[in-house]
Amino acid sequence: MKLKNILNWTVVFPVLSSVFYLGGFLTDTVFANIAGAFLLFATVLAAVHHAEVVAHKVGEPYGTIILAICITILEVGLIISFMLSGGEGAMTYARDTVFAAVMLILNGILGICIWVGSRKYKEQLFMRSSATTYLVSLVAILVLTLILPNYTSSVRGPFYTNAQLAFVSLACLVIYASFLMFQTVRHRNYFIVEEEDHTTHEADPPSNTKTVASLVLLIICLAVVIFMAKGLSPVIEDFVENIGAPRALVGVIIASVVLLPEGLAAIRAAKNNQIQSSINLGLGSALASVGLTIPAVSLVCIVYDIPFVLGLDMKSIILLALSVFTVMLSLSRGKTNHLYGTVLLVNLAAYIFTVIVP
């Protein structure tokens, strides 16, 4: 690899961040926290770059699938590490993180993408059949995992028995696997809009060597983002406690950091008049976040006999229903406008506000 490529900032910052974290420099000091936050943000930007290189090489929708699955795998690792370490909130950590991720994706990432793209292009076209496919799969998984546990009677409270947990996990995997088959084999054309402005893809695809290097660096970047976020979580917890906000806000902040790479990639696609790619990234990540995270965490909880709270409270169910319903209406016509984005962003503000002021 040429020296110029080695010294590229998208390579330098992930390496520096890895050394900073693995070398134990992320200590409880103001300087270390500021340096860690800077390296974290720089690594997020590097992850976006490498994700776009990989997506350019493999094409849609495979590029967005790779990014969604990479982030989900690392999200699972973060959740499981917190649950195995025990402590306050361990039983609800997986539920709170998944719920925060879904709300941030549906209202935040999609809302910003629709608003930014519509302000620039007035209306952006996408394949309505793709949105319907995403939402049918996502709604089924959300109800099975986050709502139904409140209404089963084998055990009291928002819990599943091990048998119920195993069944729901299998159901999630079947739905997600069926969706992937639908997206990549049988109806791949549903997720591609030929009329999109592909000015950012006019250059020749990257070489195999560059693609493999970017894929490796993407995984490193995502891992660094996850572990740096975990390392900075005590600082975040202290901040939340000092302002008198509930602990649930910590999950929202950490989920925001974890979702930064795909969020920035989706927003950039919308600015380039590629709203279909934005939708693929947003809804695909939401589907993977629930459809893969819950089965993985359930397996660990069954093996290690860890109590696992899944059911949401009524306030959260209402906000989730509002978000899903608004997204369904916004994507029902196959074209976007800035009003849809505005309403989704208001929903996001309502969610965050009710987390801070429950």
What fold does the segment set 3-356 form as a domain? A middle domain of Talin 1 (1.20.1420)
Q: Residue 203: its pLDDT value, please?
A: 57
Residues 6+ apart with CB under 8 A from 331: 126, 128, 131, 132, 135, 279
Question: Distance from CA of residue 77 to its chain's centroid?
Answer: 14
Separation of alpha carbons 106 and 104, rounded Å? 6
Structural tokens at position 35: 């340096």
Residues 318, 101: contact at Cβ < 8 Å? no
Dmax (CA) of the chain: 63
Domain assignments of the chain as residue spans, ordered by start: 3-356
> What is the Cα–Cα distance from 226 to 323, expressed in whole angstroms?
26
- For residue range 65-109, what is the model confidence (pLDDT) as tens digits? 777 777 777 777 777 777 776 566 667 878 888 999 999 999 999
25: exposed, middle or buried (Cβ count in 10 Å: 0-12, 13-18, 19+): middle
Check whether 237 has a pLDDT greater than 80: no
pLDDT in tens, 298-324: 998 888 888 888 999 999 999 999 999
Per the structure block, which two tokens stand in for 75?
A: 């999200």
Predicted TM-score (pTM) of this structure? 0.84
Place of tokens 């910052």: 13
- The backbone torsions φ and ψ at residue 11, rounded to the nearest 5 degrees and listed phi first, read -100, -40
Cis peptide before 14 (omega within 30 of 0): no
**pLDDT tops 60 at residue 195:** no
For residues 72 and 288, the answer to whether their CB atoms sit within 8 Å is: yes
pLDDT at 198 over 60: no
Return the ∠ at Cα 160 (arms to 155 and 161), rounded to 5°: 70
Asked whether the bond before 206 is cis by omega within 30 degrees of 0, the reply is no
To the nearest whole number, what is the mean pLDDT of the chain? 84
